[in-house]
Amino acid sequence: MSAHVVGNTGVMLGRSIRHVTRSMDTIITVTITPIALMLIFRYVFGGAIQTGTGNYTNYLMPGILLIAIASGVSYTGFRLFNDMQSGIFERFHSMPIARSSVLWGHVLTSLVSNAISVVIIIGVGLLMGFRTSAGVVAWLAVAGILALFTLALTWVAMIAGLAASTTDGATAFSYPLIFLPFLSSAFVPTDTMPGPVKAFAENQPVTAIVNTVRALFEQQPAGNDIWAALAWCAGILIVAYALAMRAYRRKIA
């Protein structure tokens, strides 16, 4: 990436970040639902759910973080759609800037805003009893996997924001993503699920990511889950990026 593109992307990132900081209710909204779910599952359902672990908050944390990210990226699609509708893209394209920087500004903003949400949720989790023996390397690995997951879903949000004809259409893609953790190992072990549900749960991306993050938090070997998690995230990212750039080129043609 040339210095010209990097500089333009930095400007677009600053613009998007200012929009987020002027409307912090976005981050607050993104964190409220995952925190509410964590409270409900920990204090209402936690006593009835057998996970084989002594600390159900520890068990919950990875899935709650993924729900927060899936919810957060919907606002990226929303912000991109609003930019498209307002005509600001046409103004940007009339300037001597790298066209890809317009999208990358939104993508990097998504990484920053979702990282803030993740930190807030982990902080609340610590108050609820979340504990981890993870060292610096394990924490960096968790951060890397969550960032890759965020990046992959953000490019999915780019597709929705570019292709939607209404505000609801730009954000509706996130609902199935938020629901996926409920059909995974995020809240209960997959062994307790009926056959067809278990088969789906064990072969979808959220389970591999949840198991990997949980193992890293517990300083346990992640086994094949980490490779499955990386493969899912990389595959989604590559396909979503290609489709988003194709949709973007059609929009600006």
Residues 127-153 have a mean pLDDT of 93
| Residues 200-216 pLDDT 10s | 999 999 999 999 999 99
Residues 65-84 have a mean pLDDT of 86
Q: Where is pLDDT greater, at 238 or 161?
A: 238
Residues 182-195 have a mean pLDDT of 89
Q: Residue 44: its pLDDT value, please?
A: 81
**In this structure, what token pair is assigned to residue 118?**
């993740």
**Res. 11: pLDDT tops 70:** no
Q: Residue 168: its pLDDT value, please?
A: 79
Say whether pTM exceeds 0.85: yes
Domain of 135, in residue numbers: 3-252
- In percent, the amount of the chain with pLDDT more than 90 equals 39
Number of domains in the chain: 1
The C-alpha atoms of residue 244 and residue 246 are separated, in whole angstroms, by: 5
**In this structure, what token pair is assigned to residue 163?**
């292709």
The C-alpha atoms of residue 145 and residue 248 are separated, in whole angstroms, by: 27
DSSP for the chain, please give it.
--HHHHHHHHHHHHHHHHHHHTTTHHHHHHHHHHHHHHHHIIIIIGGG---S-S-HHHHHHHHHHHHHHHHHHHHHHHHHHHHHHHTHHHHHHTSSS-THHHHHHHHHHHHHHHHHHHHHHHHHHHHTT------HHHHHHHHHHHHHHHHHHHHHHHHHHHH-SSHHHHHTTHHHHHHGGGGTTTTS-GGGS-HHHHHHHHTSHHHHHHHHHHHHHTT---TTHHHHHHHHHHHHHHHHHHHHHHHHHHHH-
Please enumerate in sequence order all residues whose Cβ is within 8 A of that of 89, keeping only pairs 6 or more positions apart, or say none: 83, 102, 251, 252
Q: Residue 172: its pLDDT value, please?
A: 81
**Res. 47: pLDDT tops 70:** no
Lookup result for tokens 């699920």? 193
The C-alpha atoms of residue 62 and residue 48 are separated, in whole angstroms, by: 20
Q: Residue 79: its pLDDT value, please?
A: 82
**In this structure, what token pair is assigned to residue 93?**
């394209």
| Residues 77-107 pLDDT 10s | 888 887 777 766 666 666 656 666 778 888 8
| Residues 146-166 pLDDT 10s | 999 999 999 999 898 888 878
